[in-house]
Structure 1
Amino acid sequence: MTQTASPLPERGPTGRRTAKGSLAAKSAQRVERPAPLRQVVYDALAELIINRTLEPGQHLVEADLAEYLGVSRQPVREALQRLQTEGWVDLRPAQGAFVHMPTDEEADQLLGVRAVLETHSARLAAGCASEAHVARLWELQNAGLEALAADDGEALVTANADLHSFLTELTGNAVLAELIGLVDRRVRWYYTPIARPRGHDAWAEHAELIEAVAAHDVEKAEKIMAHHTERTRQAFHERPEAARE
């Protein structure tokens, strides 16, 4: 799929923007199939929503999105239907598709589940982290501090997700990683409008967490993560008015 250089859609009037036989027993070099176009389009649109290029409440016009992505309208229509099923898009009769407007109640539910998973992850990580793991955590921490110094909101969100993801990965708990992965995209969506105002405190808390993990202090790591995730939940509720709009 090739993206065109055309601009994003204008906002609408509302302002919201066989192998058989003997061959089966032989080793063969498999040809890797590219992802189906509908999956590529779905991923592209989901990412545009998560990073808020497509803003909450924005009207989504199939023809404009198809032109922007350089595809036909059919995979866009299929992607929008899937996004609607997963809660990213609202399909309104006689009006069309709109980016879902997240509510504070939805944020509380998601961030509450995330807090339980992430707190358990921090405890497990502190109990099993190696020196190499800790060194990698500090590398990710530095990437976040660089994004903070550059006042790069998108890079801050990515760095935050990378650090939390690696913390879970190093536990070796595949079930935990799968569960956290299920909420990761939506957590990034909620985190985007508060990444800057939350920045200095969030990365100071990350540093304290890494120190606890390095010291194998499971109780302290668990406590720090519980505080960290709760402050993120509070920050979403206290986000600036411009971010709410």
Structure 2
Amino acid sequence: MNTDPDLTASLREPATREAIASAIRDDVLDGNLRPGDRLPEPMLAERFGVSRVPVREALSQLQSEGFVNLERYKGATVSGASRADALEVMQVRRGLEVFGARLAAERLGGDFADDLRLVTESGTRAERSKQHHQVPPLVMRFHSLVAAASGNQELSRTLEHTLRRIAWVFDRNVENRADRCWRDHTAIAGAILDGSPVQAGYLMDEHVKKDEDLVRALL
């Protein structure tokens, strides 16, 4: 009998923190886990075949994204506000990202110009070669770089936290979004590097609106 090597490897290798967080996040978004449901660490550790350490790390990540509540002595439960607040967080993110893109364009990318070029090239290569698993972290890297290129450290810190809360958006429907996503990123980076604040802000606004539409479809 032939065995799929990828499946064999996945069965042999323990789940990572990111994989555990992604699975729980999907269960929440798909309605398999409801607000108030308990998430006992021993049960999750058994489910994913790992120790409690990566489970605890995954739950901490999900807490920062708003999907999980962690209480001392009570453990983890699914947040009642994680889905309802998602769109509001996305709207806050849009204002921050548009402002950041404009500031970054005024500085022509500053010290992060080369990094912006490299990440857009990496994303385009990943999309063309259909390496879709590489796309979400590259998306996060791109948006973090735009914030850093703004030169406004407070904006960068605030946006970094906001992006962590909505990182799950970039994991959904990756195959259908990758090509469009990197066309957007390439255009935004081009406007920033050309020193065109109005265009950079407009393109970022249009780009983030698409993610808001995706959130609406998930709610």
Q: Tell me the TM-score normalised to structure 2 length.
A: 0.71
Tell whether the 8 Å contact from 2:112 to 2:148 is kept in structure 1 after alignment: no
The yes-or-no answer on 1:191 pairing with 2:170 is yes
Tell whether the 8 Å contact from 1:90 to 1:99 is kept in structure 2 after alignment: yes
Q: 1 or 2, which has the higher helix percentage?
A: 2
Give the one of 202, 206, 211 matched to 1:227. 206
Rate the CA distance shift 1:135–1:234 in 2: closer, same or farther, 3 A.
same
* Matching residue's letter, 2:195: H
Tell whether the 8 Å contact from 1:80 to 1:97 is kept in structure 2 after alignment: yes
Rate the CA distance shift 1:86–1:136 in 2: closer, same or farther, 3 A.
closer
Tell whether the 8 Å contact from 1:198 to 1:235 is kept in structure 2 after alignment: no
1:30-109 residue pairs with structure 2 within 5 A?
A: 45=17, 47-48=18-19, 50-52=21-23, 55-57=26-28, 60-66=39-45, 68-71=49-52, 76=56, 87-89=66-68, 102-103=82-83, 105-109=84-88
Q: Measure the CA separation in 2 of the matches of 1:163 and 1:81.
A: 24
Tell whether the 8 Å contact from 1:125 to 1:171 is kept in structure 2 after alignment: yes
Determine helix, strand or coil for the equivalent of 1:122: helix
Q: Measure the CA separation in 1 of the matches of 2:104 and 2:94.
A: 15
Q: Measure the CA separation in 2 of the matches of 1:84 and 1:166.
A: 24
Rate the CA distance shift 1:168–1:70 in 2: closer, same or farther, 3 A.
same
Percent of aligned pairs with the same amino acid: 25
Tell whether the 8 Å contact from 2:116 to 2:189 is kept in structure 1 after alignment: yes
Q: Measure the CA separation in 2 of the matches of 1:85 and 1:79.
A: 10
* Matching residue's letter, 1:228: H
Tell whether the 8 Å contact from 1:50 to 1:189 is kept in structure 2 after alignment: no
Unaligned runs of 5+ in 1: 9-43
Residue 200 of structure 1, CA deviation: 1.4
Q: Deviations over 1:138-182 (max 9, x none)?
A: 210111112222333331110000011111112221100110111
CA RMSD across the alignment: 3.5
Determine helix, strand or coil for the equivalent of 1:143: helix
* Matching residue's letter, 1:233: E
Residue 64 of structure 1, CA deviation: 4.1
* Matching residue's letter, 1:154: H
Q: Measure the CA separation in 2 of the matches of 1:83 and 1:189.
A: 10
Q: Measure the CA separation in 1 of the matches of 2:89 and 2:183.
A: 23
Q: Which residue matches 1:125? A: 104
Give the one of 132, 138, 141 matched to 2:120. 141
Q: Measure the CA separation in 1 of the matches of 2:184 and 2:20.
A: 28
Tell whether the 8 Å contact from 1:56 to 1:99 is kept in structure 2 after alignment: no
Q: Deviations over 1:35-89 (max 9, x none)?
A: xxxxxxxxx75x34553366324674422444644347xx94x985895697323
Q: Deviations over 1:85-131 (max 9, x none)?
A: 9732368xxxx96655853x422111101101110110000001257
Tell whether the 8 Å contact from 2:25 to 2:62 is kept in structure 1 after alignment: no
Rate the CA distance shift 1:85–1:154 in 2: closer, same or farther, 3 A.
closer
Q: Measure the CA separation in 2 of the matches of 1:204 and 1:49.
A: 30
Q: Tell me the TM-score normalised to structure 1 length.
A: 0.65
Moved more, 48-57 or 114-123: 48-57
Q: Work out which of the two has the higher radius of gyration on C-alpha atoms and give 1 or 2.
A: 1
